[in-house]
Amino acid sequence: MRSTDSDGASAGAGQNGSASRHHQIQVPVDALTLGMHVEELDRPWTDVPVLFQRFVIRTEEQLSTLRHYCVWVWVDANASECDADWGAMAMKRGAVRTVHPLPEQHPLSEELPRARKAYRKTRNYVDSLLADIRNQQTIELEEARPVIEACATSIQANANAMFWLGRVRSEDAYTAEHCVRVAILAIGFGSSLGLNDADLTTLGLCGLLHDIGKLRVPDAILNKPGRLTPEEMAEMKRHTEYGYALLTKQGDFDPIVQDTTLSHHERMDGRGYPGGKPGSCISRFTRIVTIVDAFDAMTSDRTYQKGVSTADALRILFKNRGDQFDAELVEHFIRMIGIYPPGSLVALNTGEVALVLANNPRYKLAPKVEVVLGPDRQPCRRRVLDLATHPESGDGTPYAITEPLPDGAYGFSLQAHIEQQGTAAG
In the chain, the number of structural domains is 3
pTM: 0.82
Q: Do 152 and 301 have their domain in common?
A: yes
Q: Mean pLDDT, to the nearest integer, of 235-246?
A: 96
The pLDDT score that the predictor gives to residue 85 is 52
Helices and strands (H, E) in the chain, number of each type: 15, 10
What digits encode the pLDDT tens for the residues 369-378?
A: 999 999 999 9
User: How far out from the chain centre does Cα 131 lie?
Assistant: 24
Q: Do 198 and 287 have their domain in common?
A: yes
Q: Do 17 and 160 have their domain in common?
A: no
Q: Which of 287, 319, 337 finishes a domain?
A: 337
For residue 365, is it within any domain?
yes
pLDDT at 420 over 60: yes
Q: Do 193 and 65 have their domain in common?
A: no
Q: Which band of pLDDT confidence, cut at 50, 70 and 90, is reported for residue 347?
A: very high
Q: Do 332 and 187 have their domain in common?
A: yes
C-beta separation of 209 from 242 below 8 A: no
Q: Mean pLDDT, to the nearest integer, of 206-227?
A: 92
Q: Do 191 and 329 have their domain in common?
A: yes
Kindly provide the b/e burial profile for residues 359-368, where b requires at least 16 CB atoms within 10 angstroms of the residue's own CB. Answer: bbbeebebbb
Q: Which of 306, 337, 368 finishes a domain?
A: 337
How far is it, in rounded angstroms, from Cα 178 to Cα 122? 12
Between β-strands 23-28 and 37-41, what pairing exists: parallel, antiparallel or unpaired? unpaired
More confident residue, 162 or 64: 162
DSSP designation for 19: G
DSSP-assigned states of every residue in 348-394: ETTS-EEEEEE--TT-TT--EEEEEE-TTSSEEEEEEEEGGG--B-T
The pLDDT score that the predictor gives to residue 80 is 56
Q: Do 67 and 210 have their domain in common?
A: no
Q: Which candidate, 203, 181, 207, 182, places its Cα nearest to that of 194?
A: 203
The pLDDT score that the predictor gives to residue 19 is 41
pLDDT at 258 over 70: yes
Q: Which band of pLDDT confidence, cut at 50, 70 and 90, is reported for residue 401?
A: very high
What digits encode the pLDDT tens for the residues 131-185?
A: 999 898 888 898 999 999 999 999 999 999 999 999 888 766 888 999 999 999 9
For residue 102, is it within any domain?
no
Q: Mean pLDDT, to the nearest integer, of 259-267?
A: 97
Q: Do 309 and 350 have their domain in common?
A: no
C-beta separation of 353 from 404 below 8 A: no
Q: Compute the residue count for the chain.
A: 426
How far is it, in rounded angstroms, from Cα 109 to Cα 91? 36
For residue 97, is it within any domain?
no
Least trusted range by pLDDT, from 96-110, 142-156, 325-339, 406-420: 96-110
DSSP designation for 339: S
Q: Which of 309, 337, 365 finishes a domain?
A: 337
For residue 103, is it within any domain?
no
Q: Which candidate, 228, 191, 221, 164, places its Cα nearest to that of 421?
A: 164
For residue 98, is it within any domain?
no
Q: Do 245 and 119 have their domain in common?
A: yes
Q: Do 194 and 231 have their domain in common?
A: yes
The domain in which residue 296 lies consists of 108-337
